[in-house]
């Protein structure tokens, strides 16, 4: 993950033009062992000024929120999310915290807010809490079919299995690709796959892994991708088929930050752009994606990492993608 910090003026303008009343996030109904309630507010977010967001046919914007938290709150630097129920999600930060909460929908079923936010510190292999950034730079997560929580880290490149997502414990190491990732360009995309889990490197490369081996699906390029390239920063399995959905990020100094959502085929190839976010519309450092069945297709949630930077935002946007034709009456 590379910090995208130099588009402050434009992002500040978008914040001013998108200001709306904030709503206090409702606390958890009951505390669970190890989880700590997290205070925050949300405000509604649209797609911004015309000429920014581009949506393919069959894609609909389904609401968005900005998560607003105090500077010292653990609710910053959220780098991925996955859903654990119809309205429940879990997220991870690149500071070494695990976050969970509930999605709030309006009468139309669109995303309208968040509730029940809680956090807990991730632990090391010996059960002690992660203390250093080098140990806690979590970038991707996946929920296995058994309900276990897989988290990928960079700097110290690894994937750890923390056990049940609702009550994670001491982690254990699982298989990672046999590839020399650079310090800050690790496994950003992580998802379950038919046989285990799929990993995507930020600078290129896709692998399918099992407990025994990781098989290269798409080779990393000879020259690593750079910030201005569209690089995979989040991935989730397509619940309606055999492929995956990915979010890609591009950043060209000083202000051009963009994001795309695309399908990834089982062979690692990428399909047409489904959603593109760029100025003068709503955009930021999008790094997480979650895909769930919804109506005649799939609902996608994408999450931005604010880098704990006051001029960036933590945004959660929803998009509905129709994957099956509507039934004729």
Residue 253, pLDDT score: 87
Q: For all residues of the chain together, what is the average pLDDT?
A: 91
Range in 16-20, 92-96, 200-204, 233-237 with the lowest mean pLDDT: 16-20
The CA radius of gyration of the chain, in Å to the nearest whole number, is 18
Query: What's the pLDDT band for 296 if we cut at 50, 70, 90?
Result: confident
Q: What local confidence, expressed as pLDDT, does residue 30 receive?
A: 64
Q: pLDDT by residue (tens digit) across 22-43? A: 999 988 876 788 999 999 999 9
For strands 244-252 and 256-264, give the pairing.
antiparallel
Neighbours of 44 (CB within 10 A): 18
pLDDT of residue 324: 58
Annotate 45-63 with b (16+ C-beta within 10 A) or e (fewer). bebbeeebbebeeebebbb
Residue 177 has pLDDT above 70, yes or no: yes
| 293 closest CA partner among 324, 247, 251, 248 | 324
- Give per-residue pLDDT as tens, 185-233: 899 999 999 999 999 999 999 999 999 999 999 999 998 899 999 999 9
pLDDT value at residue 20: 64
- Give me the residue spans of the domains in the chain: 8-322
Structure tokens at 153: 């880290």
The pTM of this model reads 0.92
Position 19 pLDDT exceeds 70: no
Torsion of CA 4, 300, 81, 29, to 10 degrees: 130
pLDDT at 148 over 50: yes
Tokens coding 78: 């959220």
Mean pLDDT computed over 257-270: 97
Question: What CATH number labels 8-322?
Answer: 2.120.10
Q: What is the pLDDT of residue 254?
A: 85
> What pLDDT was estimated at residue 236?
98
> What is the number of other CB atoms lying within 10 angstroms of the CB of residue 252?
13
Distance CA 57, CA 174 (A): 39
Enter the tokens of residue 36: 């700590």
Q: Stretch 293-312: mean pLDDT, rounded?
A: 94
């Amino acid at each position: 993950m590379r910090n995208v910090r130099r588009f402050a003026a434009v992002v500040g303008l978008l914040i001013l033009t998108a200001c709306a009343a904030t709503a206090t996030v409702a606390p958890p109904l009951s505390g669970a062992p190890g989880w700590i309630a997290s205070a925050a507010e949300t405000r509604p977010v649209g797609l911004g000024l015309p000429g920014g967001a581009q949506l393919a046919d069959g894609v609909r914007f389904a609401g968005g929120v900005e998560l607003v938290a105090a500077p010292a709150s653990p609710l910053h630097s959220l780098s991925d999310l996955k859903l654990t129920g119809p309205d429940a999600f879990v997220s991870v930060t690149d500071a070494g915290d695990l976050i969970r909460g509930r999605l709030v929908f309006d009468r139309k079923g669109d995303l309208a807010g968040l509730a029940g936010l809680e956090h807990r510190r991730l632990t090391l292999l010996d059960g002690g809490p992660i203390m250093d950034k080098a140990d806690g730079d979590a970038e991707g997560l996946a929920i296995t079919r058994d309900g276990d929580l897989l988290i990928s880290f960079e700097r110290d490149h690894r994937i750890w299995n923390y056990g049940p997502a609702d009550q994670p414990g001491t982690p254990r190491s699982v298989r990672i690709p046999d590839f020399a990732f650079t310090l800050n360009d690790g496994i950003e995309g992580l998802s379950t796959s038919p046989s285990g889990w799929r990993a995507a490197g930020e600078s290129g490369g896709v692998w399918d892994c099992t407990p025994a081996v990781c098989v290269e699906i798409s080779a990393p390029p000879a020259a690593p991708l750079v910030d201005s390239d569209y690089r995979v920063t989040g991935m989730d399995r397509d619940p309606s088929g055999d492929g995956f959905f990915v979010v890609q990020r591009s950043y060209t100094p000083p202000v051009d930050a963009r994001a795309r959502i695309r399908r990834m085929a089982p062979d690692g190839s990428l399909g047409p752009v489904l959603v593109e976010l760029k100025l003068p519309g709503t955009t930021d450092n999008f790094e997480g994606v979650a895909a769930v069945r919804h109506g005649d297709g799939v609902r996608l949630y994408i999450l931005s990492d604010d880098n704990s930077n006051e001029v960036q935002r933590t945004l959660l946007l929803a998009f509905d993608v129709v994957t099956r034709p509507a039934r004729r009456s």
